[in-house]
Amino acid sequence: MNKREPAWRVFAGEYNDATLEVKGSGEKTPSYVITPLGAKINRVFIVGVLTDVEPISEGGEMLRAHVSDPTGVFTLYSGQYQQEATDALQRIEVPSFLAVVGKTRTYRLEDQTLYVSLRPEYVREVDAHIRDQWIIETCKHTKDRIHAVLEAKKMNPANVYDLNRLGYSKELAEGVVAAVKHYSNIDLHRYIAMIQESLQYIVPDREQVKTIVTPKREEDKKTEKMKTEKMPKASDKIKSEEKNDPEGVVLEVIRSIEDEEGAAWDEIINKCKEKGLTEDDVEEALSSLMDKGLIYEPILGLIKTT
Amino acid sequence: MTNDRDDDIQSYINEILDILSEESDKPVSRDELEREFRRFLDYGVPVEQTKQTLIKKFTASTQTAAERMLIADLQPNLSNVHLLCRVISVNEKQVTTRGEKRDILYGVIGDESGTTRFTAWKKFDIQKGDVIEIKNAYTRGWRDMVQINLSERTSVEKTSEDRLMDQNIEPKEYKISNLRSGLIGIDLTVKVLEIKKREVDVNNVKKNVYSGLIGDETGKAQFTSWHDFNLLPGDVIRIRGGYVKTWKGIPQLIFDEKATVEKLTDTTITENAAETKQVPLHELVERRGALDIEVEGTVIEIREGSGLIVRCPTCSRVIKNDECPTHGRVKGVPDLRVKILLDDGTGSVTCSLSREFIEELFGDKVKEWESNTQSDNNSFIIDELHKNLFARRLSITGNALSDEFGTAIIAKKVKMKPFILVDEVESLTKELEELA
């Protein structure tokens, strides 16, 4: 019986941190990417915002696309051997929520840096509810992996048998043992923070939650207009908080000035300066918002909300 | 100082184990290795030399000496294999090799570690139940399994029952979730959930067998007893002795008068024996099969063959163009099904949901989908199934079984199982505070 590879739930932040790869030698021995938290990945299931799709070969048969989650961005390469996925990526409007089942894909630079991306097997447009469900599930799985790494660190030496007996799957146990060996000083706090940020993303009106995520998420893209009408209220609220929430300010500014094409970079910076932010604050907020998938850059120099 | 030395020793031992695992098929115990290693060091042998000596010693021993092996440790393509085992089944067959007709034997042998198939290229005098010692056999891999071959040069000797039973098969404690095909010497404490008597014919002798369902806190299994132990539903019993047979991964415990069955008065240990247990998918895939379990996961694929289908009215097989391969030209019966791949991030199983379940999940919408779907084009209904089922979380209760295509669940109950976001966020936040 050929065992089907499980589809791991992993945030882009964790996946892109991976520098360890186990190369298989053929059909029967698949390749894996091992993340710092020990996910031993051959296949993933991810849900995020499809932010852009572009052809990267001359005939346009190879596409590169980006799917963003609250922690970072997945890069997808889809070609003629993934015809269905390639067709779907061409058809689906940007931005939209996308679910992807895909395989790991790696590329090693001359200096040995490992670049990880995904080769989609199956892509499908989904709604915000499904994206939220995925974030919750991925938070749980990330948390489980953190626990597994902590358990492994208690063992001397870390071993698959004991981890398996604690209830972790054989794949995770193997991945964690390899991760503990390969990655020196796994920064668990980084991943705890990833989960926390992702949770704040889901339930916006909790105490710790910044205003950034309030308006857009629960509503459908089609109710865009209603939202602009609601805007003044939202920005009133922001004023009192703007010092400690530059991202919220920047997001509101973009929303207030963007048109079909987006909002010009310079204009965003000027407006935000009026609101008391420095240029550095704004740039930092923009890149963080981009990572979260709340904004994207359709054309160089123009920013648009998702 | 001692600590430094200990660390060094551990790292040398790791190195040796790595090398041995590549060079030899026989596992070497870490403790044994460490003991030997320290003894060399105590005599002042330099570490590097100790390492080389031990590698030589352990690889050599597996290549020349034919020590008795356990079935569980067999690898493909070994020669000079020595086993002590029981013949679980043996059959005769005539095969033609290179134009020559030959009588061969095939069947299953087992020891305390497990069972395997064998093929004997010579008619050895062996019967079901015999305890035999096999020397100079060889193994071959066949479809993920290791098979043992007895050739002209193999020696097979009947040996005393005690050598296998009394010395080696001290019943070991198991839970139902750990029962795997071929295990023998089972020590299991369970509640009898169902029991039925039936009469069978064994070599023209009528015999009563008792079969049914048993459960413990980890799951349920079928059982067959070839002896009347006066068991009643609700009894909590400890069975010592017996072996496990599986059908598509679903375990069945088989025992007879040689087993000891003790009725227990303390019934608390199996209080929840009748309940349906929830199983993570990696565990289910590893167990291969299970009775009455619940799984939760996300639908990550709507598979080929979903949507409106036509079945043969006689055999229910899915047919095309009203033509059944078995029953010829028939008037096909339209039906609806969806084949899903359910994945919980640790493993995946397939499940085919019948019309009944689809209607239970989506109600009147199903009729609407069907009326909008042409008989020769499923794309409308497939699209609706995607919108309503893909990437959604389901809970499925039923039996699980495995074949060469993987593990599947035969659903008895299906429901949507979305996360309640607020609750999940709250509990996760709490857990993270503990972590941080």
- Express each pLDDT in A261-288 by its tens digit: 788 888 888 888 888 888 888 888 888 8
Indicate the pTM of the whole model. Answer: 0.68
Q: Does A116 share its domain with A54? A: yes
Closest CA in chain B for residue A10: B345
User: Per-residue pLDDT for A225 more than 60?
Assistant: no
> Which of A160, A192, A224 is the last residue before a domain boundary?
A192
Check if B345 contacts A (Cβ < 8 Å): yes
Q: Does A96 share its domain with A139? A: yes
Q: Does A164 share its domain with A79? A: yes
Q: Does A14 share its domain with A53? A: yes
CB A255 within 8 A of CB A305: yes
Any idea what the CATH number is for the domain that residue A238 is in?
1.10.10
Q: Does A33 share its domain with A169? A: yes
Q: Does A179 share its domain with A259? A: no
Picking from B3, B178, B300 by the largest number of A CB atoms within 10 A of its own CB, the best residue to mutate is B300
Check if B434 contacts A (Cβ < 8 Å): no
Q: Does A67 share its domain with A144? A: yes
- Express each pLDDT in A28-85 by its tens digit: 678 999 999 999 999 999 999 999 999 998 877 899 999 999 999 999 999 988 899 9
> Which of A143, A159, A192 is the last residue before a domain boundary?
A192
| A67 within a domain of the structure (yes/no) | yes
Sort out which chain B residues have CB atoms less than 8 A from A206's CB and list them. Answer: 425
Q: Does A168 share its domain with A269? A: no
> Which of A126, A160, A192 is the last residue before a domain boundary?
A192
Q: Does A103 share its domain with A225? A: no
| A147 within a domain of the structure (yes/no) | yes
Residues of A contacting chain B (CB within 8 angstroms): 1-4, 6-9, 45, 47, 99, 101, 122, 124, 126, 129-130, 132-134, 136-137, 139-141, 143, 146-147, 156-157, 167, 169-172, 188-189, 192, 195-196, 199, 202-203, 206
| A248 within a domain of the structure (yes/no) | yes
Picking from B15, B278, B390, B426 by the largest number of A CB atoms within 10 A of its own CB, the best residue to mutate is B390
Q: Does A256 share its domain with A179? A: no
Q: Does A182 share its domain with A215? A: no
Closest CA in chain B for residue A98: B391
SS3 per-residue string spanning chain B: CHHHHHHHHHHHHHHHHHHHHHHCCCCCCHHHHHHHHHHHHHCCCCHHHHHHHHHHHHHHHHHHCCCEECHHHCCCCCCCEEEEEEEEEEEEEEEEECCEEEEEEEEEEEECCEEEEEEECCCCCCCCCCEEEEEEEEEEEECCEEEEEECCCCEEEECCHHHHHHHHCCCEECCHHHCCCCCECEEEEEEEEEEEEEEEEECCEEEEEEEEEEEECCEEEEEEECCCCCCCCCCEEEEECCEEEEECCEEEEEECCCCEEEECCCCHHHCCCCCCEECCHHHHHHHCCEEEEEEEEEEEEECCCCEEEEECCCCCCECECCEECCCEECCCEEEEEEEEEEECCCCEEEEEEEHHHHHHHHCCHHHHHHHCCECCECHHHHHHHHHHHCCCEEEEEEEEEEECCEEEEEEEEEEECCCCHHHHHHHHHHHHHHHC
Closest CA in chain A for residue B178: A165
State the Cα–Cα distance between residues A3 and A5, nearest whole angstrom.
Answer: 6
| A133 within a domain of the structure (yes/no) | yes
Q: What is the ipTM of this complex?
A: 0.70
| Cβ–Cβ below 8 Å for B424 and A136 | yes
Q: Does A283 share its domain with A173? A: no
Any idea what the CATH number is for the domain that residue A110 is in?
2.40.50.140
Residue A282 belongs to domain spanning: 211-305
Number of domains in chain A: 2
| A2 within a domain of the structure (yes/no) | no
The CA angle B175-B176-B180, to the nearest 5 degrees, is 105
| Cβ–Cβ below 8 Å for B403 and A171 | no
| A251 within a domain of the structure (yes/no) | yes
List average pLDDT for each run of 10 residues in chain B, which is 436 residues long: 69 83 71 83 79 74 62 83 89 83 89 84 88 91 80 87 60 88 85 93 86 94 94 94 85 89 84 90 92 96 92 90 89 93 97 95 93 83 94 96 89 95 92 87
